[in-house]
A and B are shown apart, each in its own frame.
Chain A
């Protein structure tokens, strides 16, 4: 009787749901006028991410425009299938969509990074991924249109925020403190919200991204 009970307990333990092992990645692409020229590099990052993501992982790419807190800004999203062959097909289709977007992207007037972050948090929480990463492909210069309120708390607990290809603006060259202050502001914002902050400017060294 005891042995049966033990076997039952072991069976239940084996079948009990474990913590999610899947990864969720949300990439925000800055399409503002000052940065839209960098979009070709974004394709490289997207292809790299697609090659690294496993079946059942989630990946979404959204643009940062005047008002980014919207599902309409999501260019492509996918939760890869459990079966490797189907996941590969999805990746190929995803890559095709992104190639088309990069070639035909139009620049936006304003840059709503916070709105994009809010959308990313919502998306990744919904996916219940074990590891949640938000990649911001931008110069981190936020420029909100009049009337847009973005002074809202961000819940980034358990999130990793990676700033990619943070380019220097012309004014940064004149006064580098502006660039440093900008980066530091975002770092503090992310860390105060409970997230982890990283910055990768050398796109040849993306291995540590995931």
Chain B
């Protein structure tokens, strides 16, 4: 209706349309500057706003990254301090265990060496003395035989043989003594060798520890200086720890679920099977509370043992109090584990009772038959009921890792989100700027005729000026 009216201003619709187009172009040409300004202002404002937002988000990202870096470095510093502390404790333990006995060791070594020296002195091979009567024999040998020297010589020969035999016997005896002394030295040598070996091992262990401590100290210094390499290592390590601890926690949740199913049914015998708290069965809540208490006791036990450090108050307790706490938490855990074993047994009894009742109600004759291997499942359930609470104690370790790494991982995720948001805002800001330019061009598109005329007239207006300029002036 409206379009028909518009096209009816002249008898010819085409002419009417052309007329309207000319009017529209004229109006648009007249309003061109204002329209361009409006487009420019609107898109520019949007662009600037978005770029400002992008800048703000980028700034927030930087602040978050800085904070994450600080958290990471602090966590890394703390972890390294713990590692170095433990290494020193191990060194101290080694020194205490091995080197406290060093004076005794040294004394034993000295005694062994003295004994060896003494034995060595005793074992010196003394050459047999030359018989003093050899010259006398020579003198007698020069005597004339006829003067009765033959008998003398025979006596001398006899004495000589006898003396020789005695000397040989003495020599053999002395040699045997020396050999026995040398044999007695062998255990001493071995003892010395063993002692020296122990000392060597201890020293090598200390050297190895010192190398490890050096390495850790170097890493610690890098963390303290806040080097990028340290941050990068800590960051990747934190992400790995996050996923590993998550996996272990999922496994632990599975264990807790099995534990829950073991005790939820018999709990109905204790707290009733039909009472509810809200929409949950009281028996289920009671079973869940027992498992939660077990996990809490496990946490306290691990804290008291200083394996985890989730509660600094427990770690800072005096040693005497801490040991008491260890015994108390362990006793409660033992009690709860025993209760769970009892409940697991009760579960089997209830299950058999229900099966028997069900069979009776179904009219099955063999419903009351007992399985002769039933004790195996009963024992297995009781064993699981007893062991699972203690197994859940170790949840504290991955939980601590998860909590610590979660901060870093959340920070990294936040940084990634902020970075993506900043990029998006920047792209949108630029997009609006280009959109403004494009809109101006599109606005100008139907105005190409007046714009062409304007440019022609503009050139025409400029050329006469150039033409009217004196030649001399131009040349100058």
Interfacial residues, chain A to chain B (CB-CB below 8 A): 13-15, 18, 21-22, 47-48, 50-51, 54-56, 82-85, 87-88, 91-92, 95
Contacts and interface: CB of A to CB of B under 8 A. Distances in A.
B274 A54 contact: yes
B383 to A, nearest CB: 23
B350 A82 contact: no
Contacts of A56: 272-274
Interface string B261-301: 00001001100111111100000000000000000000000
B110 to A, nearest CB: 75
Contacts of A91: 357, 361
Nearest to B274: A56
Interface residues of B, number: 21
Contacts of B277: 14-15
Contacts of B353: 84-85, 88
B475 interface: no
B362 A47 contact: yes
Nearest to B280: A14
A117 B34 CA distance: 89
Interface string B351-392: 001101110111100000000000000000000000000000
Contacts of A88: 353-354, 356-357
A210 to B, nearest CB: 14
16 contacts: A13-B278, A15-B277, A21-B274, A21-B276, A47-B363, A54-B273, A55-B268, A55-B274, A56-B273, A56-B274, A82-B275, A83-B272, A84-B268, A84-B353, A85-B269, A85-B350
Contact of A95 (B276, B350, B354, B361): B361
Q: Counting chain B CB atoms within 10 Å of each CB, which of A47, A51, A55, A82 scores highest? A: A82
Interface string B212-234: 00000000000000000000000
Given A84-B268, A85-B350, A88-B353, A22 B360 contact: no
Contacts of B363: 47
A83 B362 CA distance: 22
A95 B360 contact: yes
Interface of B: 265, 268-269, 272-278, 349-350, 353-354, 356-358, 360-363
Contacts of B356: 88
B361 A84 contact: no
Q: Is the interface of B mostly helix, strand, loop or mixed?
A: helix
Contacts of A83: 268-269, 272-273
Contacts of A48: 361
Contacts of B361: 47-48, 50-51, 91, 95
A16 to B, nearest CB: 10
A50 B362 CA distance: 10
A14 B357 CA distance: 34
Nearest to B358: A51
B357 A92 contact: yes
B289 to A, nearest CB: 14
Q: Counting chain A CB atoms within 10 Å of each CB, which of B265, B354, B357 scores highest? A: B357
Contacts of B276: 18, 21
Contacts of A84: 265, 268-269, 273, 350, 353-354
Nearest to B270: A83
Contacts of B273: 54-56, 82-84, 87
A51 B356 CA distance: 11
Contacts of B349: 85
A92 B360 contact: yes
B249 to A, nearest CB: 28
A49 to B, nearest CB: 9
A22 B269 contact: no
A83 B274 CA distance: 8
A49 B387 CA distance: 40
B274 to A, nearest CB: 4
A51 B353 CA distance: 13
Q: Counting chain B CB atoms within 10 Å of each CB, which of A13, A22, A95 scores highest? A: A95
A22 B274 contact: yes
Given A51-B358, A56-B273, A85-B353, 12 more contacts: A13-B278, A14-B278, A15-B277, A21-B276, A47-B362, A51-B361, A55-B272, A55-B274, A83-B268, A84-B269, A85-B349, A95-B361
Nearest to A88: B357
Nearest to A50: B361
A192 B268 CA distance: 41
Lowest 9 CB-CB distances: which A-B pairs, in order?
Answer: A82-B272, A56-B274, A88-B357, A51-B361, A47-B361, A55-B273, A83-B269, A50-B361, A88-B353
A84 B385 CA distance: 21
Contacts of A51: 358, 361-362
B274 A82 contact: yes
Contacts of B269: 83-85
Contacts of A82: 272-275
A68 to B, nearest CB: 26
B271 to A, nearest CB: 9
Contacts of B350: 84-85
A86 to B, nearest CB: 9
Contacts of A85: 269, 349-350, 353
Contacts of A13: 278
Contacts of B268: 55, 83-84
B340 to A, nearest CB: 19
Contacts of B265: 84
A55 B354 CA distance: 12
A47 B357 CA distance: 10
A50 B276 CA distance: 23
B278 to A, nearest CB: 5
A22 B275 CA distance: 10
A15 B276 CA distance: 9
Contacts of A14: 277-278
Nearest to A96: B360
A91 B349 CA distance: 17
